Structures are given as C-alpha cells and as structure tokens.
Structure 1
Amino acid sequence: MKRIFALLTVGLLISCSSSGPPPADEVAIRSSTATRSTALTATTMGAGVAAELERRYRDTRDDCGAASKPAFLCSGIILRGTEASTSFDAWNPSPTSVTSGGVSFTYLRSDYKVKRLAYTYDSGFIFHPILSNPPGKLFIEIMCFFPVDGDSNGRLNGGCGAHKEHPTISMSCEEQNPIIDTAAKWGNKYRADGNARARSMCSFNVRDSVNTAAAPRFLEGMRAGRLISPDAFNTPNDMKLKTWAQNIPAQLPIEAFFYTKSTGLAKAQFYQRRFRDLTRVTIPIIYIPLPQTLEQSATFTFHAADQTQ
C-alpha cells in the first residue's frame, strides 16, 4: 500500500495601513464585532466537525477506492478514550504504549457499533482519518485491528503480535497455522478458545506494508466482529496505532475532543483548555452518546455552551 502525501505550501498575504490610529469608539466597535465574529466562527466550525463525524459514521464503504486503501482511511471514527490528569497530557502515549510501540484506539461506524469505550472511559480525542489529514499534521500508521479487545498491552510487535500468556496461538492472523484470512475462520478460533480468547485471538494486520491485503483484511475483521455479536458491541474493539513522540500536540491530527456522558464533559473541557494553552488552537468538544442497544446509533452534537473560553 503505497500512499504519497503531498505537502502544500500556503502563502499568507498581509496588508497594512499607515493612516494613523482610528478613534477610540471605532476601536470598541471593531473589538465587539471581532469578538462576535470569532464566537460565530468557532460555533460554525464546531457544528461542521460534528456534521463531518456524523457523515463518516454513516459511511459504510468496504474500502476507500482500492484494495490498498482500507475503509478506516476515509470512513468511520478513530477515537481514543482517556482520563484527565495534571500529571500527563491525554494525547501523550502512556508508558505502556512507549514500551510496546502501539497505542490503542476504538473504531466506530454505524455498521460496527460499541456501547462503551475501554476501561469505561467517558472522554477523549478523535484523530482525522489519514486521507483527510490536515497539512502539517503527522500521518500516524494504523497497524492492526482486533474485532474485540485483545489484551494488546500484553502483546509483542506494537501490541499486534503474540500474547505473552499464549505465545504459540496468538500471533497475527496471517502468521497462524493455518492462516486466518476470513471472518468465519477468525470467529471459529474465537469461539474455540473459550475463556482464553482475549489473550489467544489474533489481530488483522493492516499496516501500510501489506499493500493490497490491507482493505480485505480490515473488512474481514469487521465482518468477524459482527459474527460474534453481541460480544463486539459489549466489548470495544482495539485498533493499534504506531506510538508517536511525547509532547507534540500541535503535530497531532486531533480533529475533536469528545465526551460520551455528562461525567466526561469537565474532562473534555480540561483537554480543550490545556491544548489551547500549549498550541493557541481551539479544538471543538463534541458530545457523542454511545448506543446502548444494537438498534440505536451514536450521535454527534456540538454544544456552544460546552466550549471553554
């Protein structure tokens, strides 16, 4: 899967005037107008982000136009549940992620629903999909996908490989003997492994290097989750992204902060405020109540009152 990312250089033209300072009352009017304009722009942007998330959530395509472009590159929601703390920034990889080389995210889509996030987190952040990554932001590789939580913190190879407790039966799906390359085969192994399944299941390798195998593997991974319903609804999936460096918030492709319950709003506001303090950029907070039955769907709402000043 060979993707070429173009770098866009934007020129900013700044004009200035030497006609002298305007009267004080004109300054006050301009200031008031600018404040209202800024608030309106922020609200419009936040509503636009919510609409875009809703659009991607409803986009159930099989791939992004080629076998080398799995669906997560352009559809669905890639989010990470986190906890607010003054000791570390939520977007920094945890010590476990630094050691393993992989960071866990959850993938949401209207045809792949989950009722909760890992550890019952109720707040966190969302990454832009790679094919719509903003200029100047890092492209962070998605390495593998577990249809349900695969206890990836106890695994090798970025959290995608063999589990330390079952090293001979938990390798990546293409390393299994026989190879697991369909949803049916994955589901059969999942059911056969019984109580050990979280540590013995295999992940679907969707790295850039697997090229035209990436999209079919991710599609089979999603189909595998549906085959074991409602397990994949009750227990969140695990999408492993390659670990990035610490303390680089301005370089990360964060599209939004979010909360799923009222208890998560203050945490999302903490992330928003901290991110703005570090980068001078305000990322919108989006309310995403998760479905509690398979008949329901997630929703994406921007509330101006949720945003910090």
Structure 2
Amino acid sequence: MGNSSLYSQQGVRAFYFRQDLRDPLEFLSLGDGGALVVALEKEGTPSPVTPACASPGQVDLSERSAYGCRPTGQDSHRDDTDPSSCVSTQTVDSWLSQWKQHRNSACSFSAYHGASFKLAMDVNKKTGELFYLFLRPIDDSAFPQASNMALVYPAGDSTKLGQVQKARVGLFRHFHLTVPILAFDHDKKTFVYQVNDNPPVKLNTPEDIVNSLNERFRSQVAACQGNKPALYCSGIIMHAANNDQFFPWDYPPRRNNAGISFFYYRSDAVGNDFHVSWAGPWGMIFKTVEQQNIDRQNVDIACLYPSDVDTNLGIGDQIPVFNKAAALCQPNPNRNPGDIARYYKPEMQPGSDPSSCRYSIRMTQRVNDVTTASADALFAAWRDTQRDNIDGHYRCSFSTKNANEFLAAIKASTLHYYLNWNELMIRSYPNQTPAEVAKLPIEAFFYQRGNSPDPAIRWQKKYSTLTGVASEDLPPVVEVNFDKNSNGNAPFKLYHP
C-alpha cells in the first residue's frame, strides 16, 4: 500500500507489483521507509481489503470519482460491484495512446476480470510508471482480519528498517496485530525474513513516553481525527499534589461522586506563565483519550475551565458551591439561587456533558448557540464576559466532547483570569483496590524542576507494589520544567537516578 490513509472515503491508493512490473524498490521508496503488503484473499477467504479497479499509471484523485476508478462526476458508480470503466476491446497500443492522451479522464481496468487486469499490466509496462490498484475504504474494525500482512523494506537499508519497525509498533498499538517485517532482496528478487528485524514489540519505553509528552506539548492541533477534541491526541493531562504523604491517585472522601481537579498543559495554553507551585510540585500524568481507548483504561473527562475556579471551595458543605452531580463543572443551583439565575439558564442539567458555557446567559447573548459556534467566537465571548462583574466561582466551563469548545478553552487558558493554570475536571473514579488503580490511565509520575524527585519515586514504587505491574512497564518518573523561557519547548525530561 502507499502512504494514503486506510480510512479515506475516496478509497485507498495502493500499488501492485510483481517481478515483471516496475522495480519494487521504487515502489518502496514512495512510502515512509517501506510498505504495508496485504494479500487480497487467502485460501478462498474474502479479505476486508477489497480492490475497486486498476490503473496503468498515476492519476490525480482530485479529478476522479468512484474511488479513483472513474472520471469526475461519475461517483454514482461507487457501489458497483466492479466500478472499472474500460469496456471496449482495443489493442495494448490503442489503450496506451488513450492513456497518454487523457490520463485523468481515462477509464480504469477491472480488478475482477483476468483479461482486463492483464491488459492493464501490459499497458503499464509501456508507460514506465508504477501500477496502481485502488481499494475500497477499509473499516478500522475490519482491518485486523486482513490476511497475509507484512511490512517490507529494502534489504540493507537500516534507516528504512527503523521506520518500518516504528510502523510495526503502531499496528500493534492500534490493532493489536503483530505484523512481520520482510527485507526485499533486490538482486535475488525475493523477500527475506530476518529474526533481528523482528524484535518483540515493546510499547512505550520510558524514552518513548518522554518523547511523546514533548511532542504532545508542542502540538497545537485544533482537533484530532474525526473532529474529536484536541485532548484526544495532544496536550498533557496532569494532576498535581502538594502533599507527598498521599498517593496522587487518591482523593479525599469529599470528592466521592464528584470531580477530581487536573490541568491541561499544552504549548498554546500556557501564556506567559504556567507555574503550578500552589497546586503542588509533584503529581501524575494521564494518557491521551485516544491511548485510553486503545488500552481500555478510560476515565470520564468532564469539562475544562480556562482558569482555576477553586472547585475545592465549600466542597464539604451541606450545600456545596459546585454541583457534585455535574463533576463540579457547574455551580450548585441550590446555593445562592438568585446569583445562579443571573448567570445561568434554568434548564442547566448535569447530563453526560456537564460543561456549563452552553447554559451561560452571558455567553449565549454573544454567540447564540455555544455548541455550534467557532472556537474564535467562543474564545472572544469567554474573554469578554467571564472576568468583570462576575464571581470567579461562577465562570463557565467548556465541553470536552466538542472540538471547538475545547479549543476555545485552550485559547482562553492563556488569559490567566485566576492563578496561572486551567482546571480540567475528571469524574471521580474507583481507586480503592489494586485492580482499580491498575485500571487508571497513569502514563508517568512527575516532579517539578527544582524539587526533589523522591515523592514521585516513592509513588512509582508504591504503584509497582500495589498493582504488580512489571518493572519494564511501570510509568516512568519525569521532570517537568514549566518555565517556557528555559525549557526549549521540551519541558519533560526522563529522571535518571
């Protein structure tokens, strides 16, 4: 396959090669170091990787329809069993002439009829180009069922070997597939399996985790794949502790059935200062939502306040300041109801998305519908309505389910309306048994630069004892430097004893 997405609704651009077609090494050079090779069928068993048509050379997909099989404007043929369009009987030279003349509007050959496919190969040999095979979109849930997969790289090229080994880890992480790596011997025109090319897949070494943390800190994506909020694939989810006598996964009973305060750390959310010394110099880091989904270690991330709103205030009172049923993402409507009525609509409910900006009277006067407004409009509305003449505890929270709302919260975090960090609320999670602690998506333990690493080290050891996780799989201890003027855009560093 080439380097196009497996999930494109326009189909997948792949390549077909064999010994009598163009040099496979040129094909391999098109990808990120190598190629993912997938058999279309194994012993008569259909594969989820299905062809749509064949092309004797490259075409511009922006001028094609029906997965690349038809000229533009013929997408009605997408659902045809065979969407190819070359139907008349002509000689190879006639097809070659037509191909050279029309190219992007030329017809495609069948991937289901032997004579048509052979004709496509014969034309391809005269074009001097690579032989293209267009596949139908591949559903990620069905992809692991594909047969006879392998990653291939040019034998002797250590750089490309390293790249396909990285791709192999990615396939294991996302699909739980162990795919072999094969070296293609150019001289012998054979594929070779070499044991040293296929080490056991080791996910997330401490160095990998630190590299990932720094990459996610630098990332400023507006949204993740599928228009998911940015916290799915970028930024750092952190919880700070100022008392090393308690484990960071613990929380006081008053937060039971409520929410736990974290903060969201990303390069475009820090502003001029992001020191969290008041919150605590040590803590833990949770995995991204995408990785939580993969590892089946999900927690419920409820909302993001662009500024700290001090959710701990009055949390033990008979009538708390914040609504526990809403994971502290909303003010308690039963406390000072007159004030609440000035700031929030009466229909405010906890629900599966307990964020409160969509119920904010001031916000909706500016943007009408918070759930459909742009991130820039939401940022401007929050900036102009949530600071002056409003009790800071009544500032509204943004959704972690809506990409534009979450991006607006990132932008607004730089305003530092109260303290120098934001407040990310996660619903209180089970944490009483070893199995419950092991279920938490803990990625690392951290200490702030200039402080002792000892508490983080003790927590790592306690986590190991409690959960029985193997030493090589323990969340590492990392140092974090929140000073943006001296961290070189890489605030995380692996702790070495």
Give the TM-score band, short-chain normalised. Answer: 0.7 to 0.9
> Are 1:201 and 2:415 an aligned pair?
no
> Are 1:143 and 2:302 an aligned pair?
yes
Residues 308, 421 of structure 2: 8 Å contact kept = yes
Q: What SS is found at the alignment partner of 1:105?
A: strand
- Matched ranges for 1:1-309 at <5 A: 45-67=205-227, 69-86=228-245, 88-99=246-257, 101-113=258-270, 114-117=273-276, 119-133=278-292, 136-153=295-312, 154-156=321-323, 157-162=326-331, 164=335, 166-169=339-342, 171=344, 172-178=356-362, 179=364, 181=370, 182-193=378-389, 196=391, 198-207=392-401, 214-226=402-414, 228=415, 230-231=416-417, 234-247=419-432, 248-281=436-469, 282-291=474-483, 297=489, 299-305=491-497
Q: What SS is found at the alignment partner of 1:49?
A: helix
Gaps of 5+ in 1: 13-40, 208-213
Deviations 1:77-100 (A, max 9, x none): 0010024555x432023323215x
Residues 243, 280 of structure 2: 8 Å contact kept = no
Aligned partner letter, 1:105:
F
- Shift of the alpha carbon at 1:294? 10
TM-score (norm 2): 0.47
CA, structure 1 residues 45+58, in 2 after alignment: closer, same or farther (shift >3 Å)?
same
Aligned partner letter, 2:360:
Q
- Shift of the alpha carbon at 1:106? 0.6
Give, in whole Å, the separation in 1 of the partners of 2:289 and 2:307: 23
Q: What SS is found at the alignment partner of 2:251?
A: coil
Give, in whole Å, the separation in 1 of the partners of 2:342 and 2:447: 37
CA, structure 1 residues 218+134, in 2 after alignment: closer, same or farther (shift >3 Å)?
closer
Deviations 1:7-63 (A, max 9, x none): 999799xxxxxxxxxxxxxxxxxxxxxxxxxxxx99x92222111100111110000
- Shift of the alpha carbon at 1:162? 1.4
Give, in whole Å, the separation in 2 of the partners of 1:151 and 1:84: 18
- Shift of the alpha carbon at 1:249? 1.4
- Shift of the alpha carbon at 1:292? 5.9
- Shift of the alpha carbon at 1:149? 0.4
Residues 290, 297 of structure 1: 8 Å contact kept = no
- Shift of the alpha carbon at 1:122? 0.5
Give, in whole Å, the separation in 1 of the partners of 2:488 and 2:447: 18
Choose between structure 1 and 2: higher strand proportion. 2
- Shift of the alpha carbon at 1:215? 0.5
How many correspondences in the alignment? 258
Residues 57, 109 of structure 1: 8 Å contact kept = yes
Give, in whole Å, the separation in 1 of the partners of 2:218 and 2:208: 15
Give, in whole Å, the separation in 1 of the partners of 2:286 and 2:487: 26
- Shift of the alpha carbon at 1:175? 0.7
Q: What SS is found at the alignment partner of 1:167?
A: helix
Give, in whole Å, the separation in 1 of the partners of 2:224 and 2:294: 20
Deviations 1:209-245 (A, max 9, x none): xxxxx1011111122233x3x547x521001111101
Deviations 1:108-132 (A, max 9, x none): 1111115222734001000000102
- Shift of the alpha carbon at 1:200? 2.0
Q: Which moved more, 1:127-136 or 1:277-286?
A: 127-136
Give, in whole Å, the separation in 2 of the partners of 1:9 and 1:235: 39
Gaps of 5+ in 2: 1-140, 145-172, 179-201, 313-320, 345-355, 371-377
Identity among equivalent pairs (%): 24
Aligned partner letter, 2:393:
R
Larger RCO (CA under 8 A, 6+ residues apart): 1
Give, in whole Å, the separation in 2 of the partners of 1:294 and 1:303: 18
Give, in whole Å, the separation in 2 of the partners of 1:65 and 1:135: 14
Give, in whole Å, the separation in 2 of the partners of 1:235 and 1:188: 19
TM-score (norm 1): 0.73
Residues 152, 159 of structure 1: 8 Å contact kept = yes
Q: Let me know the Cα RMSD of the aligned residues.
A: 3.1
- Shift of the alpha carbon at 1:169? 4.6
Give, in whole Å, the separation in 1 of the partners of 2:400 and 2:262: 14
